[in-house]
Structure 1
Amino acid sequence: MALVDYGGSSSSASEDEESSENNQTPTLSSLKRPALPTAAALLGPKKPKPEEFVEDVVDDPALHGGRIRSFKHERGNWATYVYVPAAACADQLEEFQAEAIAHLEPHLELQANDSLHLSLSRTVVLQYHQIDEFSRSLQTALSSSVGFTATLQGLRIYTNEERTRTFIAAPLDPAFVEKMTAILQPIDQVMLDYRLQQFYDPASFHVSLLWCLGDQEALLKDKLQELQELLEDQDTLTLAVNEVHLKCGNKDFTYRLK
C-alpha cells in the first residue's frame, strides 16, 4: 500500500485580506518556509513486499488431492526438509507407479508421488531469515560426509503420524543403512542446534512412491505381494547417494558429498 500523502494544510485569505496584507509589514506567518515534500513525493509509492510475504495462504485440501497440512501455513513460515534425490532409478520407479495405480484402481485410488527422494529429515518450519544461515550450517556439517551407491529393496507400507494418508514406499537395502546413518547424524545435529525435531528413531530410510487418503494400511498390506511382483519386473533400483539437498519452500540447496 502506498504511503498516504496528507500534504500541508493551509487556509486561504479573502481577496480583501490579501490586498490589505500586501501593504503591511510582513508578519511571522508570511515568513514561514513552504511545507516540506512528503516521503511519498520523494521516494515514490511503497514497493510491494516479496511474494513470499504478501499474504497468508488459506489451506484448501481440494487443491492438493485432499491432503491436509501437518502444520498451519503462516506468513514467513517455510516448510523445510533434507533429502537425497532418487534420480538414478526414477524411470523405473515411475513405470512401477503407473502399473501399481492401474492394478489397484478397482480397490483404491492411488496417487503417484511427484518428487521421488529419500528423506533425511522430517518436514520442519524455518523462518525466512533463518534459511541462509541454516543452509550454511548444513553445508559445514556435511563437509566430511562420504557418498556411496546404494540400492532400494522391496516395498513397505507406511502411514503419516496423523494417519490421514497411507504410503507405498521402497525401503533402502539394509546393507546400506549404516552408511546412510552416518550421513543422517550431522543433519540431526543441525536440527538439534536449531531446536527443530530430529529424524524418526529408529530411522526408516525409504523412497515414497504412491499414496492415498486415509488409513488404508490393512488393505495395502493384503495387496503387498501383488505389488512386490510388479516391482520385481524392474532391474536393480540404484540410489546414487552423491549429494544431499535442502528444500525450503521453492528454494533448493545442493551439497556435494566426498
Structure 2
Amino acid sequence: MALVDYGGSSSSASEDEESSKITQPTLINILKRPALPTAAALLGPKKPKAEEFADDVVDDPALHGGRIRSFKHERGNWATYVYVPATACAEQLEEFQAEAIAHLAPHLELQANESLHLSLSRTVVLQYHQIDEFSRSLQAALNSSTSFTATLQGLRIYTNEERTRTFIAAPLDGAFTEKMSCILQPIDQVLLDYRLQQFYVPASFHVSLLWCVGDQEKLLNNKLKELKELLEDQDTLPLAVTEVRLKTGNKDFTYMLK
C-alpha cells in the first residue's frame, strides 16, 4: 500500500495540477516529519504508588548510629517484625537507659533503644502485596491467645547474628516462658506458611534496652554486675501482655488478646 496517495479517478483537475507542483525534496520532507510525542514523553514515566515504596531509602549507616542492615535493601522490601510493647514499665526502663549510658560513657558509646518491646519474630521481609493478607493471618492465628501480666528480671548481653551490634537486654522472668511460648507458636506457624524464617530456637524472650556498634560482648559482660546494680534501684518491671503488634515498613497493626 502506498504511504501517500495524491490522486485518483475522482480527483479534480486543480488537485492534479497542484499535486504535480510538489517537488521530490518537498515530498521527502513531508515523509520525514517527526512523529507525535508519546504519552510517556508528555506525562513522564508511570510512577509507582507512593505507599508501596514509602520506606524506600538509601541505606546510610551514618544516619542511624552505624547500624548495618541484616539483609540487603531492595525496592518493595518491607522490613517486618512482631512484638509485645513494653509500655507498663517504659518509664523505669528509660531511667535505667540514661543511667547506664552515663555509667559506661568512659568505656563505650551506648545508644538507647527507642522502641521498648519484646520481640516475637526476627526481622523478616514482606512484599507490599503480602502485607494485608499476612496481617489477617496473624489476627486469625492469635484469636485464641490469652493475655497475662509478666515481669522482666535481671540483665543479659546479646549480639545479633552478624555480630555487628551488641545489646543490653532485660530478659523475661523464666516463670512466664511457657505462657509466652503459647503466643509465639501460632506466630511461628504464620511465618512458616509464608516461607519466612521463624523465631530463634530456643527462644530467649527479652526487651532490648541499649546497643552499641560491633561485638562488645566481652566488655559488657565484664560490666554486667555494675549495670545490674543500677537496675536494682528500680521496682519490679511489669510486662503487660495484652496485645501483639506487627510493624511492617511504615504500617502498624495491633491484635488484642483475650
> How would you bin the TM-score normalised by the shorter chain?
0.7 to 0.9
Question: Within 5 Å, which residues of 2 pair with 1:122-137?
Answer: 122-137=122-137
How many residues are treated as equivalent by the alignment? Answer: 230
Whole-Å separation in 1 of the counterparts to 2:130 and 2:199: 20
Query: Equivalent residue for 2:48?
Result: 49
- The percent of aligned pairs where both chains have the same amino acid is 81
The 8 Å contact of residues 246 and 254 in structure 2, kept in 1 or not, is answered as: yes
Whole-Å separation in 2 of the counterparts to 1:217 and 1:187: 30
Structure 2 counterpart SS, 1:91: helix
The 8 Å contact of residues 55 and 250 in structure 2, kept in 1 or not, is answered as: no
Question: Within 5 Å, which residues of 2 pair with 1:77-156?
Answer: 77-156=77-156
Structure 2 counterpart SS, 1:48: coil
Amino acid at match of 1:50: K
Deviations 1:188-211 (A, max 9, x none): 000111111000000000000000
Aligned CA distance change for structure 1 residues 214 and 44 (closer, same or farther; 3 Å): closer
The worse-fitting range, judged by mean Cα deviation, of 53-62 and 73-82 is: 53-62
Query: Equivalent residue for 1:16?
Result: none
Question: Within 5 Å, which residues of 2 pair with 1:23-38?
Answer: none
Amino acid at match of 2:49: P
Query: Equivalent residue for 1:255?
Result: 255
Structure 2 counterpart SS, 1:49: coil
Unaligned runs of 5+ residues in structure 1 are: 1-9, 14-18, 25-36
TM-score (norm 1): 0.83
Unaligned runs of 5+ residues in structure 2 are: 7-12, 19-35
Whole-Å separation in 1 of the counterparts to 2:54 and 2:142: 34
TM-score (norm 2): 0.83
Query: Equivalent residue for 1:174?
Result: 174
TM-aligned CA deviation for residue 86 of structure 1: 0.3
Amino acid at match of 1:76: G
The 8 Å contact of residues 79 and 126 in structure 2, kept in 1 or not, is answered as: yes
TM-aligned CA deviation for residue 60 of structure 1: 1.1
Whole-Å separation in 2 of the counterparts to 1:188 and 1:46: 41
Answer yes or no: is 1:217 the counterpart of 2:217: yes
Question: Within 5 Å, which residues of 2 pair with 1:11-22?
Answer: 20-21=14-15
Question: Within 5 Å, which residues of 2 pair with 1:200-239?
Answer: 200-239=200-239
The 8 Å contact of residues 171 and 206 in structure 2, kept in 1 or not, is answered as: yes
Whole-Å separation in 1 of the counterparts to 2:46 and 2:14: 48
Query: Equivalent residue for 2:242?
Result: 242
> Looking at CA atoms only, which structure, 1 or 2, has the larger radius of gyration?
2
The 8 Å contact of residues 57 and 74 in structure 1, kept in 2 or not, is answered as: no
TM-aligned CA deviation for residue 57 of structure 1: 3.3
Deviations 1:36-65 (A, max 9, x none): x99849x96666322343896332111111
Amino acid at match of 2:227: L
Aligned CA distance change for structure 1 residues 70 and 136 (closer, same or farther; 3 Å): same
Report the aligned-residue RMSD: 2.5
Aligned CA distance change for structure 1 residues 55 and 133 (closer, same or farther; 3 Å): closer
Amino acid at match of 1:21: E
Amino acid at match of 1:210: L
The 8 Å contact of residues 153 and 173 in structure 1, kept in 2 or not, is answered as: yes
Structure 2 counterpart SS, 1:88: coil
Structure 2 counterpart SS, 1:125: strand
Whole-Å separation in 2 of the counterparts to 1:53 and 1:121: 23
